[in-house]
Amino acid sequence: MQLLDGKKTANDIKEEIAIEVTTLVAKGGKKPHLAAILVGSDGASETYVNAKVKACERVGFDSTLVRFDSDVSEEELLSEIEKINNNLDIDGLIVQLPLPKHIDEMKVTEAISPKKDVDGFHPSNIGRMTLNSPTFLPATPAGILELLERHKVETVGKHCVIVGRSNIVGLPMSILMAQKSYPGNCTVTLTHSRTQNLKKITKTADILIVALGKAEFVTADMVKDGVCIIDVGITRVKSDKTKSGWKLLGDVAFESVKDKCSFITPVPGGVGPMTIAMLLKNTLIAAKSKT
Ligand code: BQF
C-alpha cells in the first residue's frame, strides 16, 4: 500500500508556487491577490477560510477577507461581489460555502466574474471544464487529479467508481476521469443515494473516489484487492484523544481497507490540503492571465 500523502504533495506545490511568485515580483509584476467572502461564523467555514488566508501568506500572495453577519441580505452580498469583480487589484474571488438559507448560492456563484472564479464553480467555467477547454478546475477535483498524476497512478481503461454526485466533487470528478487525458481515460460509474447494489459496483472499482459525507462508510468488504482509494470525506467527531477535543474522519474506514489498497489517501492530510493548494494554483493562473 502506498499512501497518497496530500499534505506533502500540497507543500511541494506551494513551494513551486512561492518560487513563481518570487520570479513574477522580480520581473516587476504584482503579487497574486485572493479575496474571500465569509458569511456568518460557522466553525468549519472559519477553519477553511483561515487555512486559505494562511496558505496565501505562505506562498507570498496578498489576501483580503471580507466578513458579513449571517443575516446579510443577498443584495448586499451581490453588490460586494460586483465591487470585487471591478477591483483591478484583485485576481481571484471565492465565496465560502455553504451560505445561509435565505441566500441563493447559484445566484451568488453566477455573480462572480468567470475570470476571477478561482473555485471554478461558475456555470461557464463548468462548461469549459466539460468541453476540456482551459479554465479554473474546481479545487477538490483538481487536487485529486494532481495526486493521481504525481504518484503516477495508472488510469487508462480503468474502472473509476465515484460515490456521491455533488456539484463540487462527484459530478465534476465523473466528467474529468472520463476525459481523453491523463489522469483520465477511465470507464466511469457515478453512484449516489439512489444507487441499487452499491457494494456490487464498488467491488469492481480500480479507482474508488468517495465523497458522500458519511464517516467510515466504505469498509473492506466493499472493495477489491489492489484498489486505489481517494477519500474526500471530512466529518468532525468529538474525541478525548486530541487537544482540540475533536478529530476528522473520512468516508472510508481506513484501518479496515488499507491492506487491500494499492494506493489510499489518509484523512486528514489527503485530499483536503490539495484543495487549498489548487486554489492557490488557480489564483496564480488568474494573476498571470492578466499580463
Ligand atoms: C486536511 C469543505 C465541505 C464543505 C465545504 C486540510 C481542508 C480540509 C482538510 C480544507 C472543505 C474541505 C474546504 C484538511 C477546504 C477542504 O488536512 O485533511 C484542509 O480547508 N478544505 C472548504 O473550503 O469548504 C468545504 C468541505
The structural domain count of the chain equals: 2
The residue whose C-alpha atom lies closest to atom 9 belonging to ligand 1 is 272
Per-residue pLDDT of 209-262, as tens digits, reads 999 999 999 999 999 999 999 999 999 999 999 998 999 999 999 999 999 999
In a mutational test of the pocket of ligand 1, which residue from 3, 39, 48 has the highest number of ligand atoms less than 8 Å from its CB?
Answer: 48
In a domain, 9, yes or no: no
Q: How far apart are CA 92 and CA 35, in angstroms?
A: 6
Q: How far apart are CA 102 and CA 145, in angstroms?
A: 34
Tell how far CA 103 is from the center of its chain. 22
**Residue 154: partners with Cβ closer than 8 Å, 6 or more residues away:** none
Question: What's the whole-model pTM score?
Answer: 0.98
Q: How far apart are CA 210 and CA 291, in angstroms?
A: 39
SS3 92: strand
Q: How far apart are CA 126 and CA 131, in angstroms?
A: 9
Residues 143 and 263 in one domain: yes
In a domain, 128, yes or no: no
Tell how far CA 78 is from the center of its chain. 24
DSSP conformation class of 183 = S
The residue written with cell numbers 496564480 in the block is: 284
Looking at 118, 151, 166, which one is the last position of a domain?
118
Tell how far CA 53 is from the center of its chain. 16
Indicate if 12 belongs to the active site: no
Of 151, 117, 129, 164, give the one whose Cα is nearest residue 228.
151
Q: How far apart are the first and last CA of the chain?
A: 44
In a domain, 288, yes or no: no
Q: How far apart are CA 80 and CA 77, in angstroms?
A: 5
Residues 114 and 145 in one domain: no
In a domain, 125, yes or no: no
Residues facing 39 on adjacent strands: 68
In a domain, 6, yes or no: no
In a domain, 129, yes or no: no
In a domain, 279, yes or no: no
Q: Is the peptide bond before 268 cis (omega within 30 degrees of 0)?
A: yes
Whole-Å CA distances, 13 to 45, 96, 175, 276: 23, 22, 24, 10
Indicate if 62 belongs to the active site: no
* Backbone φ, ψ for residue 96 (5° rounding): -65, 130
Residues 55 and 152 in one domain: no
Q: Domain range spanning residue 100?
A: 28-118
Ligand 1 atom showing the smallest separation from residue 49 Cα: 23
* Backbone φ, ψ for residue 6 (5° rounding): -70, -35
Indicate if 180 belongs to the active site: no
Residues 111 and 148 in one domain: no
Per-residue pLDDT tens listing for the chain (291 residues): 999 999 999 999 999 999 999 999 999 999 999 999 999 999 899 999 999 999 999 999 999 999 999 999 999 999 999 999 999 999 999 999 999 999 999 999 999 999 999 999 999 999 999 999 999 999 999 999 999 999 999 999 999 999 999 999 999 999 999 999 999 999 999 999 999 999 999 999 999 999 999 999 999 999 999 999 999 999 999 999 999 899 999 999 999 999 999 999 999 999 999 999 999 999 999 999 986
The residue whose C-alpha atom lies closest to atom 26 belonging to ligand 1 is 234
Find the CATH number of the domain harbouring 264: 3.40.50.720
Of 136, 130, 138, 145, give the one whose Cα is nearest residue 179.
130
- 201 pocket-lining for ligand 1 (C-beta < 6 Å): no
Looking at 56, 87, 118, which one is the last position of a domain?
118
